[in-house]
Amino acid sequence: MADLMKPQYEKSMGIASKYQQYAGVMSGASAMSQLFGDIADYSVLRFEASQAQLQGRQAGLIAGEQSNLLMKKIMGDVQNSFATYAARGITSEGTPMSIAETSLKGAGEDIKTLTESARIQEEAREFEAKQLRSQANLRLFGGILQTISGGARTYGMFKGGF
Protein backbone atom coordinates (compact mmCIF):
# COMPACT_ATOMS: atom_id res chain seq x y z
CA MET A 1 0.00 0.00 0.00
CA ALA A 2 2.92 2.29 0.66
CA ASP A 3 3.95 1.89 -2.96
CA LEU A 4 0.50 3.02 -4.06
CA MET A 5 0.84 6.25 -2.09
CA LYS A 6 4.31 7.06 -3.41
CA PRO A 7 3.19 8.79 -6.68
CA GLN A 8 0.67 10.89 -4.74
CA TYR A 9 3.32 11.78 -2.15
CA GLU A 10 5.82 12.78 -4.86
CA LYS A 11 3.17 14.83 -6.62
CA SER A 12 2.29 16.59 -3.35
CA MET A 13 5.95 17.25 -2.60
CA GLY A 14 6.45 18.66 -6.12
CA ILE A 15 3.54 21.07 -5.65
CA ALA A 16 4.80 22.03 -2.19
CA SER A 17 8.26 22.59 -3.61
CA LYS A 18 6.84 24.92 -6.28
CA TYR A 19 4.92 26.88 -3.62
CA GLN A 20 8.05 27.09 -1.51
CA GLN A 21 10.02 28.41 -4.48
CA TYR A 22 7.26 30.90 -5.23
CA ALA A 23 7.37 32.00 -1.58
CA GLY A 24 11.14 32.35 -1.94
CA VAL A 25 10.76 34.61 -4.97
CA MET A 26 8.21 36.72 -3.11
CA SER A 27 10.49 36.90 -0.07
CA GLY A 28 13.37 38.07 -2.25
CA ALA A 29 11.18 40.63 -3.98
CA SER A 30 9.98 41.88 -0.61
CA ALA A 31 13.55 42.24 0.63
CA MET A 32 14.54 44.18 -2.47
CA SER A 33 11.47 46.39 -2.16
CA GLN A 34 12.39 47.13 1.44
CA LEU A 35 15.95 47.99 0.39
CA PHE A 36 14.71 50.41 -2.26
CA GLY A 37 12.47 52.04 0.34
CA ASP A 38 15.40 52.34 2.75
CA ILE A 39 17.57 53.86 0.01
CA ALA A 40 14.82 56.42 -0.65
CA ASP A 41 14.60 57.17 3.10
CA TYR A 42 18.39 57.51 3.19
CA SER A 43 18.27 60.09 0.41
CA VAL A 44 15.47 62.05 2.08
CA LEU A 45 17.25 62.11 5.44
CA ARG A 46 20.53 63.23 3.85
CA PHE A 47 18.66 66.02 2.05
CA GLU A 48 17.00 67.10 5.31
CA ALA A 49 20.43 67.14 6.96
CA SER A 50 21.75 69.45 4.23
CA GLN A 51 18.69 71.67 4.66
CA ALA A 52 19.26 71.90 8.42
CA GLN A 53 22.90 72.92 7.87
CA LEU A 54 21.87 75.52 5.33
CA GLN A 55 19.25 76.96 7.70
CA GLY A 56 21.89 77.24 10.40
CA ARG A 57 24.23 79.14 8.09
CA GLN A 58 21.36 81.37 6.99
CA ALA A 59 20.64 82.23 10.62
CA GLY A 60 24.21 83.48 10.95
CA LEU A 61 23.98 85.52 7.77
CA ILE A 62 20.65 87.04 8.79
CA ALA A 63 22.03 87.97 12.20
CA GLY A 64 25.03 89.62 10.55
CA GLU A 65 22.76 91.56 8.21
CA GLN A 66 20.49 92.65 11.08
CA SER A 67 23.55 93.71 13.10
CA ASN A 68 24.83 95.82 10.23
CA LEU A 69 21.42 97.46 9.72
CA LEU A 70 21.11 98.17 13.44
CA MET A 71 24.59 99.70 13.59
CA LYS A 72 23.88 101.86 10.53
CA LYS A 73 20.63 103.06 12.08
CA ILE A 74 22.23 103.92 15.41
CA MET A 75 25.16 105.67 13.71
CA GLY A 76 22.71 107.62 11.54
CA ASP A 77 20.68 108.60 14.61
CA VAL A 78 23.81 109.74 16.46
CA GLN A 79 25.04 111.72 13.44
CA ASN A 80 21.61 113.35 13.05
CA SER A 81 21.58 114.25 16.74
CA PHE A 82 25.05 115.82 16.55
CA ALA A 83 24.05 117.71 13.39
CA THR A 84 20.92 119.00 15.12
CA TYR A 85 22.90 120.06 18.20
CA ALA A 86 25.52 121.74 16.00
CA ALA A 87 22.82 123.59 14.02
CA ARG A 88 21.47 124.96 17.31
CA GLY A 89 24.91 125.94 18.51
CA ILE A 90 25.09 123.22 21.17
CA THR A 91 28.38 121.41 21.58
CA SER A 92 28.43 117.61 21.50
CA GLU A 93 30.04 117.39 24.92
CA GLY A 94 28.23 116.39 28.07
CA THR A 95 24.64 115.15 27.74
CA PRO A 96 24.58 114.76 23.92
CA MET A 97 27.78 112.68 24.08
CA SER A 98 26.47 110.51 26.94
CA ILE A 99 23.23 109.92 24.97
CA ALA A 100 25.30 108.85 21.96
CA GLU A 101 27.46 106.57 24.10
CA THR A 102 24.36 105.02 25.67
CA SER A 103 22.83 104.45 22.22
CA LEU A 104 26.00 102.84 20.92
CA LYS A 105 26.35 100.69 24.03
CA GLY A 106 22.73 99.51 23.65
CA ALA A 107 23.32 98.75 19.98
CA GLY A 108 26.39 96.76 20.92
CA GLU A 109 24.37 94.70 23.38
CA ASP A 110 21.66 94.12 20.76
CA ILE A 111 24.26 93.03 18.23
CA LYS A 112 25.83 90.69 20.77
CA THR A 113 22.40 89.17 21.47
CA LEU A 114 21.69 88.72 17.75
CA THR A 115 25.09 87.12 17.17
CA GLU A 116 24.79 84.77 20.15
CA SER A 117 21.26 83.75 19.18
CA ALA A 118 22.41 82.99 15.63
CA ARG A 119 25.37 80.98 16.93
CA ILE A 120 23.09 78.88 19.13
CA GLN A 121 20.65 78.36 16.28
CA GLU A 122 23.47 77.36 13.95
CA GLU A 123 24.81 74.84 16.48
CA ALA A 124 21.32 73.39 16.97
CA ARG A 125 20.87 72.98 13.22
CA GLU A 126 24.30 71.36 12.91
CA PHE A 127 23.37 68.92 15.67
CA GLU A 128 20.09 68.19 13.89
CA ALA A 129 22.00 67.59 10.65
CA LYS A 130 24.32 65.12 12.40
CA GLN A 131 21.33 63.24 13.83
CA LEU A 132 19.67 63.08 10.42
CA ARG A 133 22.85 61.77 8.82
CA SER A 134 23.12 59.09 11.50
CA GLN A 135 19.50 58.08 10.92
CA ALA A 136 20.15 57.94 7.18
CA ASN A 137 23.20 55.71 7.61
CA LEU A 138 21.36 53.42 10.03
CA ARG A 139 18.39 53.18 7.65
CA LEU A 140 20.65 52.21 4.76
CA PHE A 141 22.67 49.75 6.84
CA GLY A 142 19.48 48.18 8.23
CA GLY A 143 18.05 47.87 4.72
CA ILE A 144 21.19 46.15 3.48
CA LEU A 145 21.11 43.70 6.40
CA GLN A 146 17.43 42.95 5.82
CA THR A 147 18.13 42.35 2.15
CA ILE A 148 20.96 39.96 2.98
CA SER A 149 18.68 38.16 5.44
CA GLY A 150 15.90 38.02 2.84
CA GLY A 151 18.35 36.70 0.26
CA ALA A 152 19.45 33.94 2.63
CA ARG A 153 15.82 33.08 3.33
CA THR A 154 15.11 33.00 -0.42
CA TYR A 155 18.10 30.79 -1.06
CA GLY A 156 16.96 28.43 1.68
CA MET A 157 13.48 28.23 0.20
CA PHE A 158 14.91 27.30 -3.18
CA LYS A 159 17.15 24.70 -1.61
CA GLY A 160 14.33 23.42 0.58
CA GLY A 161 16.07 24.06 3.89
CA PHE A 162 14.01 26.89 5.42
- Compute the average pLDDT of residues 43-68: 90
Whole-number pLDDT of residue 15:
67
Task: Say if 126 falls within a structural domain.
Answer: yes
Task: Say if 95 falls within a structural domain.
Answer: yes
Pair 107, 74: CB distance under 8 Å: yes
Task: Say if 14 falls within a structural domain.
Answer: no
For residue range 82-109, what is the model confidence (pLDDT) as tens digits?
Answer: 777 777 777 767 676 777 778 778 888 8
Residue span of the structural domain in which 148 resides = 22-159
Task: Say if 4 falls within a structural domain.
Answer: no
Whole-number pLDDT of residue 60:
85
- Domain count along the chain: 1
- Compute the average pLDDT of residues 108-116: 86
User: DSSP readout, the chain?
Assistant: -HHHHHHHHHHHHHHHHHHHHHHHHHHHHHHHHHHHHHHHHHHHHHHHHHHHHHHHHHHHHHHHHHHHHHHHHHHHHHHHHHHHHHHTT--SSSHHHHHHHHHHHHHHHHHHHHHHHHHHHHHHHHHHHHHHHHHHHHHHHHHHHHHHHHHHHHHHHHHT--
- Compute the average pLDDT of residues 55-67: 88
- Compute the average pLDDT of residues 42-66: 90
C-alpha to C-alpha distance for 39 and 50, rounded to whole angstroms: 17
Task: Say if 141 falls within a structural domain.
Answer: yes
Average pLDDT, the chain: 80
Task: Say if 118 falls within a structural domain.
Answer: yes
Categorise residue 71: left if φ over 0, alpha if ψ from -120 to 50, beta otherwise.
alpha
